[in-house]
Structure 1
Amino acid sequence: METNIISLSRRVVMVIIALLICRTHGFTKTVLNGPVSDSLNLYTDSVQRDSSGKTVILNQIIMSASYLKGTKSPMRIKSIDKQQIESKAFGKTYPELLKEIPGIYATSETGSYGDAKINIRGFKQENISVLLNGIPVSGLVSGNMYWNNWLGLTDATHSLQVQKGIGASMLSDNSVGGSINIITTSTSETKSISGGLFFTPFGSDGGSLAKGFVSMNSGELSGGWALSALVSYTGGSGYVESTDVNSWAYMFNVSKRINGNNDIVLTLLGSPEKHQQRSVRLSESEVEKYGVRYSKNWGYLDGEKMNLSQNFYHKPYLTLNHFYTPDSGIEMTNTLYISVGNGGGRWSESKGKRIISYQEEGHIDWGSVISDNQARTGTGAAGSAQNILSDYLAGHTQAGVRHNTAYNINDKTKLEAGFHYLYYSTWEKEKITDLLGGKYWYEDYASNSLAGTAGRNPIKQVGDYIRTRNGKVTNNATVYLSGNYSGKKWNLRGGVSYMWNKYSRWDTYNYVQDPSSLAAGSESDAAFASGFSIKGGALYKLSDRSSLYLNAAAYSRIPYSNVFFASGSNEITSDVKNERNMLAEGGYRYIFARGSVELTGYYAYWKNKTIVSNPYTQQDNNDVAYMIRGLDALHYGTELTMTFNPARWLSLEGNLSVGNWRWKNDVKANIYDQYSGLKIDEINVYSNGLPVGDAPQTQVGIIAGLKFRNGILVNADWTYNGRLYADFDPAERKNPDDRASAFRLPDYNLVNLGASWKRELRRFGYNYTLFLSVNNLLDSKYIERGKDGSDHTISTFSGYWGFGINGSIGVRVDL
């Protein structure tokens, strides 16, 4: 432990050295003089203009990203500003920064650093639109969002905004629960340099995490150029056993003011990372015996820790934005972007007793795994290793172009039109990395591949590819038209969009004799689909302080590509139908001098949902794949937020969210062989009336903040989560007489505490801020998420328990 901490400290102390070097060379802060506009009124630090009156690049990004002001919007909006992000971001993913918002449930899922999961109003990730500076970044294969791809980039984030329900972007047709809009920092007219060091000790029986970052902004240089950069490193071991992390993050911005009408900005960001994972759910008896930090998917091999699961990935993201204002009434935005992701995760293959079943004192007995492999004799399949380790490798190329033209008819009315084209190509394959003492692995092409053996050698060694080698190509095009009217009494928004998709798939495992080439016959036919969205909202001001709002939307939404190739082969799923979503939301908002009240009711009817299993999910390592079609669900509920500032030094906020989310019908499911994709069964799924699981349907929260004159800020929050049902596999609901709800997890309360102290040292020309946070202050024991069992009780339930008390300390220096 001590050696690990010293190693981490050596890496992150480079941040402090960098700050001192910059200070020595006279890198001081300079602010250009000029008028300040409050027309956007989003944040006071994002509306500065230079001496010629031009808005900064960040304003243009915000305006083009469908970012709204909550007090004037006919939608339920919540924004997290940069100061809040800085005080809470260390050790947390983007979703975990939003967990205090009513109707949102965000957790670290498995407890592994960077693995996060979020639900909004009961809807999972595939029904939540995630946008980065206004561009959709959710996966197009299944809608999943891999938050570990963005580890460390919270330091480069200007703000986060959650738009509940329909969302404002015309590109987000999967905004059923809501949209999450991430706005990154950009260049500005202000020179600055910042750095920070943060540390999280998890106690004598836990690990420790350390993080350091340094960022700089050149301010406006000669010729209209400006530069900014950020680099950060996070390393150490997490709260859960054997969850080490090694993660870098970077962001570089270059902007150029060409003339009074044209600006461009080039942004490159990414977060190469490697982290160990706890991929196996726990039972109550295991947690009682070993504690909440316990992970059973690791053990010692030759004196070194060996984990069954780890993830490694790098997804650099390059964007080029062009902002063009030909006259005072027209604003044009053009965006080109490309991302080439590459990485994977450790996987295992088994021909009998699985590796996770080799347990000794609660951890994997790697020695017995190897001994059993070495004892295998014979030829062919008989002599094959029983268990091996492999890397499931996956990558993608994502490239697109977006154009938006906004025409200000007058100071109250604006029309916008645009298009977005996206090319998304993915590939996946599995490569043997360790035979674990075996002589070889026997890949049974004759039984598993549609092409049979086809001359391929089934005897596989380390470095050979097995089981899967395929990919998908998506072409997506969207056109849209929207309008906005903002008058003295009314604020109206509306828009319509049309989407067109083309999907195809290739597969060299099942369809060609030469698996190393993409030869004729390995490509599927193309599948085509189209859809639309219509959305609109109205806000009516009853007075200067109070307003009523209403919004609604109808989607005919194209299913993800995994639905069109649900069997896992090149066969296109027959009779694929669009999902149909009908959303409505209404609310009352009252704002007074010292606070506000907002009450919202929402309704979401989700029809013709298709669920497709993922065979490469460690938590659900099943021998079959399935597709469930035609599911309907109804989500409705109420949300209340009240804020009150009784004094300048005290702020209070109360939140309440009560939902009723249920599945509405019984359907059928197709069962497929996980290798060949052949349909092997069809079953009935009895889900009508069951509560939707995986998120609490009742939430209560209180937040208090204290501000002292000496720069000390203290905040505390209390959250209650109730009526949280376990997630369940609909394919397991095969008994028509079993209509019992999934296991209801125990209700729980959490108390968190945070503090910061900002000191400005004018004599030396810099300021620093000290941070302290304590999570789960009362050390409550609770279950965050899990999977329902056969009898819907705790005895067959498996899941993940939440962290005990833990905390972080840190310092940030700004020059």
Structure 2
Amino acid sequence: MKNFKGNLFSILLLMMTSIVFSQGKIRGTVVDNELKGSLPGVNVVVKGSSTGASTDIDGKFIVTTTQTTGQVVVSFIGYKSMTVNFSVKNGETVDLGTITLTADSNELDEVVVRSSVIDVAKDRKTPVAVSTIRASEIQQKLGNLEFPEILANTPSVYATKSGGGFGDSRINIRGFAQENIAVMINGVPVNDMENSRVFWSNWAGLSDVTSAMQVQRGLGSSKLAISSVGGTINIITRTADMKEGGQISVGLANDDYLKTQASYSTGKMKNGLSASVLFSQTRGEGYVDGTGFEAGNYFVALGYEINKKHDVQLTFTGAPQFHDQRSNAPTINQYLKYGTGGEPNIKYNSDWGYLNGEEYSFRTNYYHKPVASLNWDWKINETTKLSTVLYGSWGRGGGTNGTGALRGNRFFSDNLRKPDGTINVDLIQAWNSGQQVTVIPGTGAQVPGSYTRAQIGGLYQNSSSSSNNATNGITQISSINSHNWYGGVMNLNKKLSQELTLDFGIDARTYRGIHFQNVNDLLGADGYADNTDVNNPGRFVNFEYAAEPNGNPFYNTDYQQKINYNNDGVVSWYGAFTQLEYSRKNLTAYIQGAISQQGFKREDYFKYLTTDPLYSTDFENILGGNVKGGVNYNINKNHNVFANAGYYSKQPFFNAVYINNASVVNENLTNEKILGFEAGYGFRSSKFNANLNFYRTSWKDRFLRITANIDEDLNNATPTIPGSAFLSGIEQVHTGFELDFTYKPMRILTINGMASMGNWKYGSDVTANYQDENSQVITNPSGEVFTETLYLDGLKVGDAAQTTASIGASLEVVRNVKIDGNYRYIDNLYASISPENFRTEAANKAGSLELPSYGLMDAGFSYKMMVGKDNTNSVNFRLNINNVLDKTYIAESRTNQFAATQAEFDGNTGNGLINPSGSQTSSSNFLKGNGPTQYATYQDYQNRGVYDGVDTRNQVFFGFGRTWNFTLSYNF
């Protein structure tokens, strides 16, 4: 035994000696590719082991390893990782020299942004507040969410599903709605040229082909004169020369959601050609009742690198879709009425019913908007580059609605509903076709009666009239909003010296918006009588057009029978821009200037005789532009500060040039004025990154069109009808701060967080006039356009949360298995302005209606299994659960109704309460003493007339409850 112990000791000593002498050392220096300075705190790990080290203050590292050959992985947050081969002999030291890391704050995986048309912000260089979402994160976490929702954990961003229909989501940045957020795809502006809106249902397939999405809050770094009041969303799509490979995936989710997708890229071939294609199909029943949908998506990209100087990329993409909607926001009373156990039915939708046993929606959106673009990049020489993009977009489609009335009841009237809250479409069809029905008239005696429809000239003729008569009926119609859009952007990038770079470019666009209505479904009637075309009065329309997207986006719509209105909006745009950038070591500064002339022309084929000059107007040309600049200073390797400022003179939207659905130019036409300031601080280290920003944006002379409940008779009576209010002379001031951070205490754990707080207020009272849902102007009894003052001065800007915060973490439990979670908190959320609630100074004192704060938790699970030869392919599993705790919350309110206070309730005489808006509240909502609803105490009223502190008369959209989605994909 003694000899055995001695031999064992000798063997162990020999092994230890061998290990010591077999150790080698690897050293090197890590620097930044742009600043050429050393990077401290960089992780250097021997691949396949836990052996590693971090760089010191001079960017130097030494790693001791027992391996004689292998690879080291060099990684640092905000930079692209590098893998470096090494070979070291026993007991020796090998010097890898200088390892240069490339900044990767944009995280544009598999994307090379060649074109200088695309304005991508660079970390510690471009002086703007920016967040970037990688393609991998979009593919993992989006699932059946809407595209804008992937930005929900970005500072100062508020994204909601709005009515909940497929693609009906919306986004606000720093309190500004998406029509004042510039959306760019590969450097091409896609905001509608008439109203600057972006309908995400038209871009439903965009998430499938996005390589990266960057959000620049504030005026941003784009050189174009675009509507980036709140921010800019830069979307960079797949390119033709992505690396060779493909993907097949299938996605499942709640409410029969099914998505299938296939894509393949050839990579760049020896002859310089490349191609990338993607096709997908999505369908589902929708989380909200009566919101079924079906959508396709196609993407084709062809590339050709002619030589080292010329590269051409052609892309063509589109997403034909139709989806039933929840356009009218129900009242909380309605959600409660059709709920159970005193809880609201948050899925309730007041816009649909059943016809002959099948779902029938009065509100369906259908559209096909393909976009083609040709990008040409020419490297003239080592200091000069020319980037050009030519593009075209052809949109065809619209949205359905109901018009007319059944004995004075509109299609959304409670008198036409079944006990479950759905529309009794069978009843409407029976009335339209001449059958006897029992119904409560919309006006007059509120008691049921039996009625039979009368004919006109031996026919059952529908019309747009809502009066209580025996001849009219209800029709499903479409509002068509098609367009033809062509444009081009050219940018010359010239490096004047080692420090100075000059950009100069032009931007030209032309747009024709095609607007009219047609008949989708007569619902049993013989035809539709229309008298709105002064050139062809007394027309009778009996052709029905399907509410579905057309596969041919170039088809001509002129042959269609049109009703109610028929006009085109023509917009021309000519612009020029320039930028001078200075960059040296730790200092970067730029100044930009842009000028544009927009021309607005209106052609109205119904309202004016062909001989009238207003039948086709001349162009109303308006000059606008901007100037902005900024500076970034890198104090050292860890700290940087930046500031920027800018001024915009922004042309108004088309409906501000030609107001009141007429071809007369607004006599008070003026440009909107935006003045913005921003300052920020950044911190970078190997484990922790953080950004802190402060901003102030002032916006004057704004013109706005918003949803409103219109009282056509101007007598403050109910019911009202849905319509639009046009507000002019708006002033807003938005200030706030933003914080976001990433902390990676170890390789397997990443923690992300953000917080933002804003103070967004109106700075003036405004003037309003109104149009009904058929774009007919509301006039007073003398025939003049009805206008009134709305008292908004000092009110909080609504429709977006002014305080947001989130905290999330991702943990790699074992290799290729990750779990992640996130909690998001929303506060200081105010209702959007409803004009009918701010007609008195007393209403202004009451302020904006604040909605309850809420918090949402999301969670996910991922597993990646490597397969195939050399494990180069992968099978990926992803499960997302959104709103894990099934929180019920109000995401937005379209009205500002306030609940009565105790004093108001006590002082009620039974004739209705006076609410803070200064108008008398409906006695059917809460009464003390007499009337159809009697509440003995204020507490009793609160229990029945208030939900979570909000008056139940308010028209709101609840957010979705718990949802889930699962994706299985094969990457090869």
> Alpha-carbon deviations, 1:142-167, whole Å to 9, x = none?
12111100112211110000001011
1:70 match: secondary structure: coil
CA RMSD, Structure 1 to Structure 2 (Å): 2.4
1:113 match: secondary structure: coil
Query: Against the structure 1 CA distance between its residues 262 and 577, is the aligned structure 2 distance closer, same or farther, given a 3 Å change threshold?
Result: same
Match of residue 175 from structure 1: 228
| Letter paired with 1:742 | S
1:492 lines up with 2:614 in the alignment? no
| Letter paired with 2:796 | P
Contact 2:152–2:158 at 8 Å: present in 1 too? Answer: yes
> Alpha-carbon deviations, 1:205-254, whole Å to 9, x = none?
xx210101111011222421111100011012111112111100011011
One of 408, 429, 437 as aligned partner of 1:370: 429
Match of residue 707 from structure 1: 812
Match of residue 878 from structure 2: 771
Match of residue 6 from structure 2: none
| Letter paired with 1:810 | T
Match of residue 447 from structure 2: none
Match of residue 60 from structure 1: 114
Q: Distance in 1 between matches of 2:396 and 2:834?
A: 30
Q: Distance in 2 between matches of 1:731 and 1:482?
A: 46
1:663 lines up with 2:780 in the alignment? no
Q: Distance in 2 between matches of 1:221 and 1:616?
A: 60
Structure 2 gaps, min length 5: 1-83, 85-98, 340-344, 435-451, 458-462, 464-468, 545-560, 711-718, 900-949
Match of residue 583 from structure 1: 676
1:143 lines up with 2:201 in the alignment? no
Query: Against the structure 1 CA distance between its residues 670 and 276, is the aligned structure 2 distance closer, same or farther, given a 3 Å change threshold?
Result: closer
Question: How far is 1:93 from its partner?
Answer: 2.7
Match of residue 432 from structure 1: 519
Q: Distance in 2 between matches of 1:46 and 1:261?
A: 24
Task: Identify the range of structure 1 (374-383 vs 338-347) with the bigger mean alpha-carbon deviation.
Answer: 374-383
One of 754, 767, 791 as aligned partner of 1:686: 791
Q: Distance in 1 between matches of 2:971 and 2:424?
A: 50
2:114 match: secondary structure: helix
| Letter paired with 1:766 | N
Match of residue 342 from structure 1: 396
| Letter paired with 1:320 | L
1:268 match: secondary structure: strand
1:651 lines up with 2:750 in the alignment? yes
1:468-617 matches, cutoff 5 A: 468-512=565-609, 522-613=615-706
1:264-343 matches, cutoff 5 A: 264-288=312-336, 289-290=338-339, 291-343=345-397
| Letter paired with 2:744 | N
Identity %: 27
Q: Distance in 1 between matches of 2:842 and 2:655?
A: 31
| Letter paired with 1:760 | M
Question: How far is 1:703 from its partner?
Answer: 1.1
Task: Identify the range of structure 1 (554-563 vs 429-438) with the bigger mean alpha-carbon deviation.
Answer: 429-438
Contact 1:669–1:731 at 8 Å: present in 2 too? Answer: no
1:482 match: secondary structure: strand
Contact 2:837–2:896 at 8 Å: present in 1 too? Answer: no
1:149 match: secondary structure: helix
| Letter paired with 1:367 | D
Contact 1:191–1:218 at 8 Å: present in 2 too? Answer: yes
Query: Against the structure 1 CA distance between its residues 59 and 385, is the aligned structure 2 distance closer, same or farther, given a 3 Å change threshold?
Result: same
1:415 match: secondary structure: strand
Match of residue 44 from structure 2: none
Match of residue 53 from structure 1: none
Query: Against the structure 1 CA distance between its residues 191 and 522, is the aligned structure 2 distance closer, same or farther, given a 3 Å change threshold?
Result: same
Q: Distance in 2 between matches of 1:87 and 1:257?
A: 32
1:260 match: secondary structure: coil
Match of residue 18 from structure 1: none
Query: Against the structure 1 CA distance between its residues 315 and 253, is the aligned structure 2 distance closer, same or farther, given a 3 Å change threshold?
Result: same
| Letter paired with 2:840 | N
One of 340, 347, 355 as aligned partner of 2:411: 355
Query: Against the structure 1 CA distance between its residues 150 and 757, is the aligned structure 2 distance closer, same or farther, given a 3 Å change threshold?
Result: same
Task: Identify the range of structure 1 (557-566 vs 157-166) with the bigger mean alpha-carbon deviation.
Answer: 557-566
Question: How far is 1:614 from its partner?
Answer: 7.0
1:349 match: secondary structure: strand
Structure 1 gaps, min length 5: 1-32, 48-55, 202-206
Question: How far is 1:577 from its partner?
Answer: 0.4
| Larger CA Rg, structure 1 vs 2 | 2
Query: Against the structure 1 CA distance between its residues 616 and 65, is the aligned structure 2 distance closer, same or farther, given a 3 Å change threshold?
Result: farther
Contact 1:470–1:507 at 8 Å: present in 2 too? Answer: yes
Q: Distance in 1 between matches of 2:308 and 2:524?
A: 68
> Alpha-carbon deviations, 1:779-799, whole Å to 9, x = none?
111011121244464222111
Q: Distance in 2 between matches of 1:724 and 1:669?
A: 24
Query: Against the structure 1 CA distance between its residues 172 and 309, is the aligned structure 2 distance closer, same or farther, given a 3 Å change threshold?
Result: same
1:436 match: secondary structure: coil
1:378-393 matches, cutoff 5 A: 378-379=455-456, 384-393=471-480
Question: How far is 1:114 from its partner?
Answer: 1.1
Match of residue 5 from structure 1: none
Contact 1:552–1:584 at 8 Å: present in 2 too? Answer: yes
Match of residue 808 from structure 1: 965
1:239 match: secondary structure: coil
Query: Against the structure 1 CA distance between its residues 42 and 443, is the aligned structure 2 distance closer, same or farther, given a 3 Å change threshold?
Result: same
One of 504, 517, 536 as aligned partner of 1:417: 504
Question: How far is 1:709 from its partner?
Answer: 3.9
Q: Distance in 1 between matches of 2:109 and 2:641?
A: 28
Contact 2:733–2:763 at 8 Å: present in 1 too? Answer: yes
Task: Identify the range of structure 1 (307-316 vs 723-732) with the bigger mean alpha-carbon deviation.
Answer: 723-732
| Letter paired with 2:571 | T
Question: How far is 1:67 from its partner?
Answer: 0.7
| Letter paired with 2:430 | S
| Letter paired with 1:400 | G
1:753 lines up with 2:859 in the alignment? yes
1:459 lines up with 2:540 in the alignment? yes
Query: Against the structure 1 CA distance between its residues 814 and 172, is the aligned structure 2 distance closer, same or farther, given a 3 Å change threshold?
Result: farther
Question: How far is 1:738 from its partner?
Answer: 1.4
One of 207, 219, 223 as aligned partner of 1:166: 219
Question: How far is 1:172 from its partner?
Answer: 4.4
> Alpha-carbon deviations, 1:466-523, whole Å to 9, x = none?
1011110000111011022222221112200001011101111111369xxxx97621
Task: Identify the range of structure 1 (593-602 vs 116-125) with the bigger mean alpha-carbon deviation.
Answer: 593-602
Task: Identify the range of structure 1 (721-730 vs 747-756) with the bigger mean alpha-carbon deviation.
Answer: 721-730
> Alpha-carbon deviations, 1:329-371, whole Å to 9, x = none?
0111011100111011212112431111111121101122223
Query: Against the structure 1 CA distance between its residues 266 and 561, is the aligned structure 2 distance closer, same or farther, given a 3 Å change threshold?
Result: same
Query: Against the structure 1 CA distance between its residues 455 and 767, is the aligned structure 2 distance closer, same or farther, given a 3 Å change threshold?
Result: closer
Q: Distance in 2 between matches of 1:285 and 1:649?
A: 49
Q: Distance in 2 between matches of 1:430 and 1:633?
A: 35
1:139 match: secondary structure: coil
Match of residue 216 from structure 1: 264
| Letter paired with 2:366 | F
- The normalised TM-score by structure 1 is 0.89
Q: Distance in 1 between matches of 2:526 and 2:543?
A: 10
Q: Distance in 1 between matches of 2:723 and 2:139?
A: 45
Contact 2:506–2:577 at 8 Å: present in 1 too? Answer: yes
1:799 lines up with 2:949 in the alignment? no
Contact 2:106–2:214 at 8 Å: present in 1 too? Answer: no
Query: Against the structure 1 CA distance between its residues 670 and 305, is the aligned structure 2 distance closer, same or farther, given a 3 Å change threshold?
Result: closer
Q: Distance in 1 between matches of 2:325 and 2:191?
A: 22
Query: Against the structure 1 CA distance between its residues 476 and 182, is the aligned structure 2 distance closer, same or farther, given a 3 Å change threshold?
Result: same
